[in-house]
Amino acid sequence: MTPFGKKLRDLRGERGISQKEMAKAIGVSAAYLSALEHGNRGQPTWDKLQRIIQYFNIIWDEAEELQRLAMISDPRVTIDTGGLSPAATELANLLAITIADMDDATARELIERLKTVPKR
């Protein structure tokens, strides 16, 4: 499950809305919505994301948070380390090898540490 998928499922659950009901309202199939929630589909298109935001009638900070979650919820990430340092390539490969065995606490710790890396 992706961060976006979890948030989407939480929003539906809080409001007591079924996947089938929501899918019909936003013009997608229930199978698509299920795949989106479970992380078996990539990020929603901008249009679909806007329909989801409108469907839940969310605005401002909550809408921005949903957009942010969609941007970081691609379940099939490719990291191109061409032209980067050997350490960057090693990091990318180690992450690819170990991520499936990583517990949530370790993943959260790495996420928080990576958020502090200065942007170029």
Domain ranges of the chain: 3-71, 78-120
Q: Amino acid letter at 107?
A: A
Long-range contact pairs involving 41-46 (C-beta distance under 8 Å, separation at least 24): 41/75, 42/74, 42/75, 42/76, 43/4, 43/70, 43/71, 43/73, 43/74, 44/4, 44/70
Residue 120 has pLDDT above 90, yes or no: no
**Does the domain made of 3-71 have the CATH classification 3.30.70.2970?**
no
Contact 107, 76 (CB under 8 A): no
Distances (CA, A) of 56 to 12, 14, 16, 69: 9, 11, 12, 15
Question: pLDDT digit string (tens) for 71-88?
Answer: 989 888 889 999 999 999
List the structure tokens of 88.
Answer: 């960057």
List the structure tokens of 55.
Answer: 């469907």
Helix (H) or strand (E) holding 29: none
Mean pLDDT rounded to a whole number for the chain: 94
Can you give the pLDDT at residue 42? 81
Looking at the whole model, is its pTM more than 0.85? no
Question: pLDDT digit string (tens) for 20-62?
Answer: 999 999 999 999 999 999 989 888 999 999 999 999 999 899 9
List the structure tokens of 29.
Answer: 């199939």
